[in-house]
Structure 1
Amino acid sequence: MGSFSIWHWLIVLVIVALIFGTKKLRNVGEDLGGAVKGFKKGMKEAEAEDGAAKPAVTQQVRDDNTVDVQAREKSDT
């Protein structure tokens, strides 16, 4: 696909616009944009829920080379 020049892509774009019409293409673009925005919003909400629900974990290495792992509630401050 890298061998096509800009003129090839412009011709393809014109043909697609003639076949489908600009109004239909605009509607498809708006629907796709709305879907992407909804997906991003859902991901942010999921990250916020995960961040609030996950406990913070602390690790402490003792003198005898063992690891002490403790979970504690994450504070908002």
Structure 2
Amino acid sequence: MGSLSIWHWIVVIAVVLLLFGRGKISDLMGDVAQGIKSFKKGLQDDEKTAEKSEPVKSIDHTSTPGATNRTDVGSKAV
């Protein structure tokens, strides 16, 4: 009683085919396959854009040895 024989599977498959029809099942499987392909393509596009992005640039706030410090920037000469 606990095991399913080949006849049980044949009856289940026949009922599914009668309910949904052969065309609907193949259309459904085609839609699933197309969804998986577009998902994989989206993942590949994300990886390509991540590789092409420029590295983050930072500003160095330390003064260079040859730079002169101006102290009279805010004063007015008369």
TM-score, structure 1 normalization: 0.54
Structure 1 residue identity aligned to 2:49: E
Higher strand share: 1
The Cα offsets for residues 13-35 of structure 1, whole Å up to 9 and x where unpaired, read as 22211110000111111111111
Partner of 2:28: 28
CA pair 6-53 structure 1, distance change in 2 beyond 3 A = farther
Query: What's the offset of the Cα at 1:11?
Result: 3.4
* Greater length-normalized contact order (CA 8 Å, ≥ 6 residues apart): 1
Structure 1 residue identity aligned to 2:27: N
Structure 1: give runs of 5+ residues left out of the alignment. Answer: 56-77
Partner of 1:18: 18
Structure 2: give runs of 5+ residues left out of the alignment. Answer: 56-78
CA pair 28-45 structure 1, distance change in 2 beyond 3 A = same
What is the distance in 1 between the residues matched to 2:10 and 2:47? 40
What is the distance in 1 between the residues matched to 2:5 and 2:39? 32
User: Percent same amino acid among aligned pairs?
Assistant: 30
What is the distance in 2 between the residues matched to 1:47 and 1:9? 43
Query: What's the offset of the Cα at 1:6?
Result: 6.8
Structure 2 residue identity aligned to 1:41: K
